Amino acid sequence: MTDNEPIFDVAQLSHVELFTPKMDESLWFFKELLGLQESSRDGKSVYLRGYEESYHHSLKLTERDQPGMAQMGWRASSKLALDRRVSQIEKLGAGIGWVDTEAGYGPAYEYRTPDGHIQRIFWEVERATIPDSLKTPLINRPQKRPLSGVPVRRLDHVNLMCSDVGPMRRFYQEAMGTRLRETIIAGGGEVEVAAWMSHNNLVHDVAMMRDESGVKGRLHHVAFWYGYPQHLSDAADVFREHNIQIEAGPGKHGITQAAFLYCFEPGGNRVELFGDAGYLIFEPDWKPVVWEEKDLEAGIIWHGSQLPQEFFMVGTPPVPANE
Amino acid sequence: MTDNEPIFDVAQLSHVELFTPKMDESLWFFKELLGLQESSRDGKSVYLRGYEESYHHSLKLTERDQPGMAQMGWRASSKLALDRRVSQIEKLGAGIGWVDTEAGYGPAYEYRTPDGHIQRIFWEVERATIPDSLKTPLINRPQKRPLSGVPVRRLDHVNLMCSDVGPMRRFYQEAMGTRLRETIIAGGGEVEVAAWMSHNNLVHDVAMMRDESGVKGRLHHVAFWYGYPQHLSDAADVFREHNIQIEAGPGKHGITQAAFLYCFEPGGNRVELFGDAGYLIFEPDWKPVVWEEKDLEAGIIWHGSQLPQEFFMVGTPPVPANE
Amino acid sequence: MTDNEPIFDVAQLSHVELFTPKMDESLWFFKELLGLQESSRDGKSVYLRGYEESYHHSLKLTERDQPGMAQMGWRASSKLALDRRVSQIEKLGAGIGWVDTEAGYGPAYEYRTPDGHIQRIFWEVERATIPDSLKTPLINRPQKRPLSGVPVRRLDHVNLMCSDVGPMRRFYQEAMGTRLRETIIAGGGEVEVAAWMSHNNLVHDVAMMRDESGVKGRLHHVAFWYGYPQHLSDAADVFREHNIQIEAGPGKHGITQAAFLYCFEPGGNRVELFGDAGYLIFEPDWKPVVWEEKDLEAGIIWHGSQLPQEFFMVGTPPVPANE
Amino acid sequence: MTDNEPIFDVAQLSHVELFTPKMDESLWFFKELLGLQESSRDGKSVYLRGYEESYHHSLKLTERDQPGMAQMGWRASSKLALDRRVSQIEKLGAGIGWVDTEAGYGPAYEYRTPDGHIQRIFWEVERATIPDSLKTPLINRPQKRPLSGVPVRRLDHVNLMCSDVGPMRRFYQEAMGTRLRETIIAGGGEVEVAAWMSHNNLVHDVAMMRDESGVKGRLHHVAFWYGYPQHLSDAADVFREHNIQIEAGPGKHGITQAAFLYCFEPGGNRVELFGDAGYLIFEPDWKPVVWEEKDLEAGIIWHGSQLPQEFFMVGTPPVPANE
């Protein structure tokens, strides 16, 4: 393999761990409204998964005084791919070390993004145990579609706020071989404001955007996937009637062409529901789409709901009042 | 790279060339009803593309007395990946040789599947030239959405009929590193009846099914992508009113979870319109979903339109009457 | 008012009472899968309503050894309209008499169709009592959208099987002022096979079709309304995984342009889920659409799922085996 | 018939005539983007209809220096109903007189709303002549679905701006028997700000809203119907790429539960595309839904796109600059 060849060592975003100061309410939201399935509990944590996910969990909720992201995990494409990535992370000086005791997956290497977000990468995974009562004749689906709320199918992506997009974007490229799909460049070509990146055919499985607060390492949002726009309308209906704060949507971004709905789960973390497949990227020499300020009006919102100014400011954990 | 690692040398299905005995009517179908854009003409051939495809063409229509597939083309992930695949094809004794003169892409290596379907693989591509009048502020889309008919977005997959599925499936695995996603095994585990395979996160960019006629190397169908189920309903509306024969659909397969609509274009080739994303596969160690006879009722049709018996018999070119 | 003027004395289909031999399973179906709300219970009966219905109930389930329809009820447009219709029913010799003791509505006049289906018409209604916890800020909606299953919004129509369509159609026209919207005439214009009729802008709030069994007064199906085609796909998903027998659909009828899904509730009655608004009729001098045998292929199914032969044979109660 | 009974003398909104200062561009918009069909031309006017409308036209476009509404027309339920309404209009002193020479319908009685909007009511209509090439096997549809743009099915409603909502609302009730469905009452119950009214099962076929400019008799918007939410997304896609100004949407109003998309046609008139059926009203004693200021946030927008402040200010014709 030469330096010029694309890297395929990371297969997918596998899970995210969120902190919540309101565990009961957060669980109610994710289980009753979004139909996530509980796989197990452990101390102050609950492990959840979508009904079309075969792994033990894609969402770990952990009780804590402030919302935010504890860590997120990537599954490597192979055991060797994991080794190559760990070697590269260590070469970049971003490594923390091996974690051996987590439910749901085998030895994971923990590391930091330049902004401090904790990441894990691993190869071995544990599959969810599906009780017979949830088995489905649709055997490419791990279990029956839940009867609760408007059930999501799987975790889609994470969007990270960061003090400086450039180093974040380069770190993903260099450490993980992540491909840049779309980017916003402001200031006459000087300032990277946001980047959408992926390890596969999605337009993004990770995104990053500039945090104007100057605080480092915060979470912007976690996204779960429906694949059908009607479900965004259904979910919005349910959210309105159950006092879940909708921040924006349903609407359609120009960037990524995503049909979106943004809300805040009761613990305070922003959650996106994703209503279609956007577009998929198959071109191996994809030239990143560069949105300049003149194009941004169409890029931010192609049609439908606008984004409030807070969308670009609010992340978790919240910025302390005295900052 | 060891033998145990997945191969990522093929990036995507890039184009298909169909024969049509009724060029004018076929062009009317693909351009007026499906909104394909004409890139160029050349002798007896017309080159077409979907409005979200950046390459010169994804469909080449060539006039001939019988319908059928002339060849289909794969884009490699890199120049080196192309070299590796050609080397492997030659090692398997399936090679034909280099083709240098085709519009839309650079040097292509031509080879045969075990059943005789002509395939091409290449690295270099030519992008479509988009006139200014078709430029769109949605800059991740190559051109404006057409105003004609119910426009498709891109080529999705090809389904090949074959005399024996096992050798076809193994050839793709060995020659291309194609991953087996779902399969039908009949006869108590003895007979592979159909296989759905992909080089990326799609459940399939190529499929193959047993041709009961015993004829080799035929085409079952070519599929184009909408991504929204409503468009299948819209297309069916249009097809009914314009005497396009609908074979089946809209409906939903269990296998691949695809929202489908099958019709015959005026030249006689079966065309599928694909109304959602089905499900996407991110697991690097995906265990192929095996449909046995007992599961097939749910697998063939999960809900909606049934498939007629002809679906499993008819391909192009037609079987000569005296066979 | 002259004889030539249209009659607007019947406002709407208000409720239907079904018999079920499996009360628990039927309740589970209507409440957990279709999201109907329980208003009250009374002896062997349970009263249910959709979340966008303000009346006490639109569905009454009553335990009995055989499925079938006990009675269905129409709400008059005014007190005087009720009087006029009762007078006309009595003139036609179809009356049974006044029913005063039913939950949910005031004095109802009971009568028989020519085939013996029990009908009721009334003016006074009781509104459902909505607990505060179900109140919604969407104040044109009686209560919150349920979180269970794929919830239906309201009762839409009833389809009656009958030994002879002509007298049934004429009875509705003469007794109720019901308007004929679409009809199937077979046998070279001699035999009315089915009729779709309404008292308002719907293509049908009552339909009738010929019962080839020769049995009189049976039910073909009761339909509930979603208004969005995606919900038919969602409901079909749920039905497949919970062993609810889908008879046909999702698909689209030519006649009425309805997006349909037919299933059997556990008690044995056929239930239709209605996925769009079809088309609405506003023309006051609507000329009934006549489907002859040559047009029927498009009329029965415009696209999608076909109807099995049983669709035209099976009703409730079932035909005794010795007939 | 007593005073207490509902009046059913008006069957439907039949047409609207719009002025446009840019006839060619307006025609391009309505024909190429919305798929309206041209029925005939006459001097400075062009008559258009939707593909599921059987009358000669539902939209008349007339060239003039300023946009705005020339007149709108109602079809009576019968000849006698027309006579009753004319008698009542004259009793209210709102009559102008009979118009006998218009294409598409018979003698029409012209009258004024309290704010001066010109209205017509008539009984006789002329059906569109459909060429054989446009005939469809879906015989409840007047003609084939067009292949141009995202075709609308029919005219849905008109929204009128007015200097004072109360007198407008009462005039419709008294002159036409129009039923009040929903209303906004501000100022602690003192000021009617807007009203949604209908003559049939729609939540509104006419609406009226307070014009803060103080100018009388302006048009807010004309709405055409799709019935499927996806078509709003498709239309928005097309509008963005063809420089049609989208004012708001797609989104969902709480009031009327309508899935909406508002744009300005090139002549300057606001046009709404209506993406579902909202909800339908069958209750004969419907109690108008009253939105007070405290409920309005949910009422104006239930979810999705917000309305800009201009939505409440801009109508046609525009307010002269010196006012």
Model confidence pLDDT, tens digit, residues B21-35: 999 999 999 999 999
pLDDT for residue D1 = 41
Task: Determine the straight-line distance between the first and last CA of chain D, rounded to whole angstroms.
Answer: 48
Q: Beta partners for B76?
A: B10
Residue D239: its chain A contacts at CB < 8 A? Answer: 303
Which sign, positive or negative, has the C-alpha torsion A223, A225, A229, A231?
negative
| Six-digit token string for C106 | 């005031």
| Partner residue opposite B230 with nearest CB, options D138, D230, D242 | D230
Which residues in chain D land under pLDDT 70?
1-3, 322-323
Percent over 90 (pLDDT), chain B = 94
| Partner residue opposite D144 with nearest CB, options B33, B144, B241 | B241
**pLDDT score of A2 more than 80:** no
Tell me the mean pLDDT in the region C190-213: 96
CA distance C14 to C71: 11
**Cβ-defined contact of D75 to C280 (cutoff 8 Å):** no
Tell me: cis bond preceding B21? Omega within 30 of 0 counts.
Answer: no
Going by the DSSP 8-state scheme, the letter that residue A291 receives in this structure is: E
Percent over 70 (pLDDT), chain C = 98
**pLDDT score of C200 more than 90:** yes
CB D51 within 8 A of CB D146: yes
| Partner residue opposite A240 with nearest CB, options C137, C228, C237 | C137
* Mean per-residue pLDDT of chain A: 96
Tell me the mean pLDDT in the region A31-55: 98
pLDDT for residue C323 = 47
CA distance B219 to B160: 5
pLDDT for residue B322 = 60
Going by the DSSP 8-state scheme, the letter that residue D318 receives in this structure is: P
The residue ranges of DSSP E strands in D66-190, in sequence order, are 68-76, 95-99, 108-112, 118-122, 154-162, 179-186
pLDDT for residue D2 = 47
CA distance A105 to C207: 58
Q: Which of residues 23-62 of B touch A (CB under 8 A)?
A: 52, 54
The nearest alpha carbon in chain D to C7 belongs to D8
**pLDDT score of B106 more than 70:** yes
Residue C259: its chain B contacts at CB < 8 A? Answer: 233
**pLDDT score of A1 more than 70:** no
* Opening angle at CA C255, ends C214 and C168, nearest 5: 35
CB C29 within 8 A of CB C195: no
Q: Report how far apart, in Å, the C-alpha atoms of B249 and of each of B229, B289, B316 are.
A: 11, 23, 20
Residue A303: its chain D contacts at CB < 8 A? Answer: 233, 236-237, 239-240, 246, 249-250, 261, 305
pLDDT for residue C189 = 83
pLDDT for residue A117 = 98
Residue A291: its chain B contacts at CB < 8 A? Answer: 139
pLDDT for residue A187 = 86
Residues B10-67: tens digit of each pLDDT: 999 999 999 999 999 999 999 999 999 999 999 999 999 999 999 999 999 999 999 9
CA distance C230 to chain A (A): 7
Half-sphere exposure of A54 (CA within 13 A, CB side): 17
**pLDDT score of A148 more than 90:** yes
Tokens 């003169």 found at: B101
pLDDT for residue B187 = 86
CA distance D268 to D247: 12
A10-127+152-312 topology per CATH = 2,3-Dihydroxybiphenyl 1,2-Dioxygenase; domain 1 (3.10.180)
Task: Determine the straight-line distance between the first and last CA of chain C, rounded to whole angstroms.
Answer: 48
**pLDDT score of C102 more than 70:** yes
Which pLDDT band holds residue C144 (cuts at 50, 70, 90)? very high
CA distance B146 to C306: 32
CA distance D168 to D266: 29
Which pLDDT band holds residue B323 (cuts at 50, 70, 90)? very low
Tell me the mean pLDDT in the region C71-95: 98
CA distance D100 to A281: 61
Q: Which of residues 121-140 of B touch D (CB under 8 A)?
A: 136-138
Which pLDDT band holds residue A101 (cuts at 50, 70, 90)? confident
Neighbours of C260 (CB within 10 A): 24
CATH superfamily, domain at B10-126+152-312: 2,3-Dihydroxybiphenyl 1,2-Dioxygenase, domain 1 (3.10.180.10)
| Best residue in B7, B282, B286 for a mutation probing chain A (most A CBs within 10 Å) | B282
Neighbours of B320 (CB within 10 A): 9
Task: Give every CB contact of residue A90 below 8 A, 6+ residues apart in sequence.
Answer: none
Residue B4 touches partner A, C-beta closer than 8 Å: yes
pLDDT for residue B1 = 41
pLDDT for residue C1 = 41
Tell me the mean pLDDT in the region B298-323: 90
CA distance D237 to chain B (A): 8
CB B18 within 8 A of CB B218: no
Closest to A14 in 3D by CA, of A88, A94, A121? A121
**Cβ-defined contact of D305 to A302 (cutoff 8 Å):** no
Q: Which of residues 232-261 of D touch C (CB under 8 A)?
A: 254-257
Chain D: partners with 3+ C-beta pairs within 8 Å: A, B, C
**pLDDT score of C134 more than 60:** yes
Percent over 90 (pLDDT), chain A = 94
For D86, phi then psi, to 5°, come to: -60, -45
**In this complex, how many residue pairs, one in chain B and one in chain D, have their CB atoms less than 8 Å apart?**
40
CA distance B145 to D150: 11
**Cβ-defined contact of C4 to D201 (cutoff 8 Å):** no
What ipTM does the predicted assembly reach? Answer: 0.96
Tell me the mean pLDDT in the region C155-171: 98
| CA-based R_g, chain C, Å | 19
| Six-digit token string for A148 | 């609760």
Task: Give every CB contact of residue C141 below 8 A, 6+ residues apart in sequence.
Answer: C51, C52, D257, D279
Percent over 70 (pLDDT), chain A = 98
For B253, phi then psi, to 5°, come to: -70, 145
Domain boundaries along the sequence of chain D = 10-127+152-312
Chain B: partners with 3+ C-beta pairs within 8 Å: A, C, D
Residues A56-97: tens digit of each pLDDT: 999 999 999 999 999 999 999 999 999 999 999 999 999 999
Q: Report how far apart, in Å, the C-alpha atoms of C148 and of each of A237, B302, C151, C195 are.
A: 14, 22, 7, 35
User: Starting at the edge strand that comes first in sequence, how are the strands of the sheet with B45-49 ordered?
Assistant: B37-42, B45-49, B59-63, B10-20, B68-76, B118-122, B108-112, B95-99
Q: Give how far the C-alpha of residue B232 lies from the chain's centroid of Cα atoms, to the nearest Å.
A: 18
Residue C150 touches partner B, C-beta closer than 8 Å: no
Q: Which of residues 197-236 of C touch A (CB under 8 A)?
A: 228, 230-231, 233
Q: Report how far apart, in Å, the C-alpha atoms of B201 and of each of A139, A199, B85 are.
A: 18, 11, 20
**In this complex, how many residue pairs, one in chain C and one in chain D, have their CB atoms less than 8 Å apart?**
125
Q: C10-129+153-309 has which CATH code?
A: 3.10.180.10
